[in-house]
Amino acid sequence: MHIEEIRLHTVRLPLVAPFTTSFSTQTERNALLVEVRGTFRTADGVRDVLGWGECVSGSDPFYSSEYVDGSRHVIEHYLAPALLERQSHTEVTAETVSEILGHVVGHPMAKAALEIAILDAELHGRGESLARYLGATRTSVPSAVSVGIQDSIPELLDRVGGYLDEGYARIKIKIKPGWDIEPVRAIRERFGYRLPLQVDANAAFTLVDAPLLRRLDEFNLLLIEQPLGEADIRQHAKLAAEMSTPMCLDESIVSAESAADAISLGAAAVINIKAGRVGGYLEARKIHDLARALGVAVWCGGMLETGIGRAANIALAALPGFTLPGDISSSSRFYATDITEPFVASGGRMQVPTGPGIGAEPLPEVMREVTTDVRVL
Ligand SMILES: CC(=O)N[C@@H](Cc1ccc2ccccc2c1)C(=O)O
Ligand SMILES: [Mg+2]
């Protein structure tokens, strides 16, 4: 495509309830949306196209080093100029974005947002859905939910019961030192041992906690997600060798190469794939392909996305290697009003968008309400 204008929209959405992890308590989501306008050459002429992408950086650099203001700055001052400079002599396509931006170190979430916005625009030009483009083999995917740390066990059980009543296919609860064995035990005692259940520590433990973490093996969990630090690949491999619960990595997997390293070192039996964390949906598909070839299950992680990121995640989760339910819950799990038409799971499944591109776009009347900053590049 030929990019004519890039716009950066920052939106602020209140959460329906506080979301507490081992690293933060969120009561609102500040999200950065990339809008790309331009033209796309087709067999029957040149068409105006428009694409959207969501940058999943948090408000603060507490999940990863990226954060909204930093991502907006690096897009405005480094990434967008690099794309516009390149297109002054060579066409830019979604498949070349990663290489064009490779000289900028890091910032995978910012890079991913530009790549998917350009891909969305191109796919609108081609009239092709993201799901079909990526190689999706399913028309719906299981919808599962991530449950934050609660103030008490009874409140946790109420919230889990509510999500089960909504039909979610799997429950994931956040854990941290001091909120680990007891909440898991309480859920098993209340809802039984067959409920698909997993835990996510967001890197809150160390190998010193191995004896405690090994006690999770008695609860028939699907997996334990990122118990140790992002850089602790060897340590996760050591812990994995001492546990029967499958080891899953999230924060540690920042590219296909790091996925290959983690799998070959025995640090990951399962991978939580987040396109933003790995630099884009094309890199995410590479990790899917690599994992599948090695017999490693993958599932689609969540970053409290608006409908823009959620739509793209559903398409990704429809690829054949995504054999575990992903953190792709209904819009209403986090937001009373989404910036797109709300995504609603039914019967524990989410329909894969079939429209061209990501199959979702922001609603102007909602954007007017929630937008806090717009930059035209
Ligand atoms: C659904 C889920 O648990 N997501 C992340 C954690 C997380 C939680 C809250 C966030 C808020 C702003 C930005 C990133 C965030 C990431 C995870 O899987 O580890
Ligand atoms: Mg996680």
CATH (domain of 58): 3.30.390.10
In this prediction, residue 203 carries a pLDDT of: 98
367 and 273 share a domain? no
pLDDT band, residue 195 (cuts 50/70/90): very high
- Per-position DSSP letters for 72-117, written without gaps between them: HHHIIIIIHHHHHHHHTTS---HHHHHHHTTTS-S-HHHHHHHHHH
In this prediction, residue 167 carries a pLDDT of: 98
In this prediction, residue 178 carries a pLDDT of: 98
117 and 139 share a domain? no
Which CATH number fits the domain that encloses residue 185? 3.20.20.120
108 and 168 share a domain? no
207 and 346 share a domain? yes
Task: Work out the average pLDDT over 153-182.
Answer: 98
| pLDDT tens per residue, range 335-372 | 999 999 999 999 999 999 999 999 999 999 999 999 99
227 and 347 share a domain? yes
Average pLDDT, the chain: 98
Q: CB under 6 Å to ligand 1: residues?
A: 19, 21, 26, 58, 63, 146, 200, 202, 250, 301-304, 327
274 is catalytic: yes
102 lies in some domain: yes
302 and 157 share a domain? yes
CA pair distance 143, 129, nearest whole angstrom: 20
Q: Are 215 and 181 within 8 A, CB to CB?
A: yes
Task: Work out the average pLDDT over 203-232.
Answer: 98
26 lies in some domain: yes
18 and 82 share a domain? yes
How much is the ipTM here? 0.98
238 is catalytic: no
**Catalytic choice (111, 172, 274, 286):** 274
CA pair distance 85, 63, nearest whole angstrom: 32
- Residue 83: domain span: 2-127+363-376
3-state secondary structure 350-369: EECCCCCECCCCCCHHHHHH
How many Å lie between the centroid of ligand 2 and the Cα of residue 128?
Answer: 31
22 and 138 share a domain? no
Task: Work out the average pLDDT over 262-271.
Answer: 98
Closest CA to 318 of 118, 130, 176: 130
| pLDDT tens per residue, range 175-188 | 999 999 999 999 99
Number of domains in the chain: 2
How many Å lie between the centroid of ligand 2 and the Cα of residue 50?
Answer: 32
